[in-house]
């Protein structure tokens, strides 16, 4: 097991790009060779601009430069992370913006932000179905426990019917900003190999809820954005295939039983 120094930065050489996906919502993305997936952040340009995910610390400078192509960095009002993990909010330099507020789930707040030395305490936490207005946009927070992590949540933007599902609907590879292709089979293979879900049950409960929301565009944290015409293919794949942990963790076999 190699030692990791305090100066090590995940994905520090990642090339970052930006694309406007729908009116005022941007995908900021970099392909990370180590994992074979893109790491995506999403900027909502509104009266109170909001960044969903920050990327790991090594990507901070690249992501910040892309944010500045749309808004001055100091104008950033909110930074949201959808569960407690470094690619969700490792780029905490955004919290140095003068008026920015950190957004998270109620569980992230109770389990993590109020218990770690040196972790920022100033934040706003949300319970299921609570709403934050950012101007023209309306962010609805959806609690999704055990869809990857205990504290996981998602965001649904009501006016554009945009879904931000974090690690749900991943596709591997360095894909284009928006896809109508069916990569659901590749998604299932990735989940089996990575072992990020302990059970299919909470995932399928969440998928049924998301189908009722009928998103026009889905913004996964890894992979392409998924347009409305393809969404049900990915949902069906999760409802009808086994993909939960069965002894594989990040592609390595662990003896179980």
The answer to whether 205 touches 7, Cβ cutoff 8 Å, is no
Boundaries of domain holding 52:
16-249
The answer to whether residue 111 sits within a structural domain is yes
The answer to whether residue 151 sits within a structural domain is yes
The answer to whether residue 57 sits within a structural domain is yes
pLDDT in tens, 48-76: 999 999 999 999 999 999 999 999 999 99
The answer to whether residue 181 sits within a structural domain is yes
pLDDT of 1 reads 64
pLDDT of 2 reads 75
Closest CA to 156 of 170, 168, 173, 139: 139
The answer to whether residue 167 sits within a structural domain is yes
CATH (domain of 100): 3.60.15.10
The answer to whether residue 131 sits within a structural domain is yes
What average pLDDT does range 74-94 have in this prediction? Answer: 96
pTM equals 0.96
The answer to whether residue 97 sits within a structural domain is yes
pLDDT in tens, 8-51: 888 899 999 999 999 999 999 999 998 999 999 999 999 999 99
How many domains, in total, are found in the chain? Answer: 1
The answer to whether residue 10 sits within a structural domain is no
Q: What is the mean pLDDT of the chain?
A: 95
**CB-based burial of residue 256 (10 Å sphere; 0-12 exposed, 13-18 middle, 19+ buried)?**
exposed
């Amino acid at each position: 097991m190699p030692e990791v120094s305090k100066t090590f930065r995940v994905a520090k050489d990642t090339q970052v790009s930006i694309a406007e996906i729908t009116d005022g919502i941007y995908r900021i993305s970099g392909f990370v060779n180590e994992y074979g997936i893109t790491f995506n952040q999403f900027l909502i340009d509104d009266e109170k601009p909001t960044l969903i995910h920050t990327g790991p610390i090594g990507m901070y400078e690249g992501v910040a430069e892309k944010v500045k192509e749309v808004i001055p960095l100091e104008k950033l009002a909110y930074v949201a992370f959808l569960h407690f993990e470094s690619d969700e909010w490792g780029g905490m330099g955004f919290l140095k913006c003068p008026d920015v507020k950190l957004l998270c789930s109620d569980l992230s707040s109770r389990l993590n932000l109020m218990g770690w030395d040196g972790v920022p305490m100033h934040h706003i936490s949300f319970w299921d179905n609570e709403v934050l207005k950012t101007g023209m946009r309306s962010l609805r927070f959806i609690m999704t426990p055990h869809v990857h992590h205990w504290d996981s949540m998602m965001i649904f933007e009501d006016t554009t019917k945009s879904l931000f599902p974090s690690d749900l609907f991943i596709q591997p590879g360095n894909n284009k900003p928006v896809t109508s292709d069916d990569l659901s089979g590749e998604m299932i293979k990735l989940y089996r190999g990575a072992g990020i879900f302990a059970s299919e049950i909470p995932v399928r409960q969440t998928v049924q809820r998301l189908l009722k929301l009928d998103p026009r565009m889905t913004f996964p944290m890894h992979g392409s954005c998924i347009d409305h015409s393809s969404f049900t293919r990915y949902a069906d794949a999760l409802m009808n295939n086994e993909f939960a942990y069965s002894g594989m963790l990040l592609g390595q076999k662990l003896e179980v039983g």
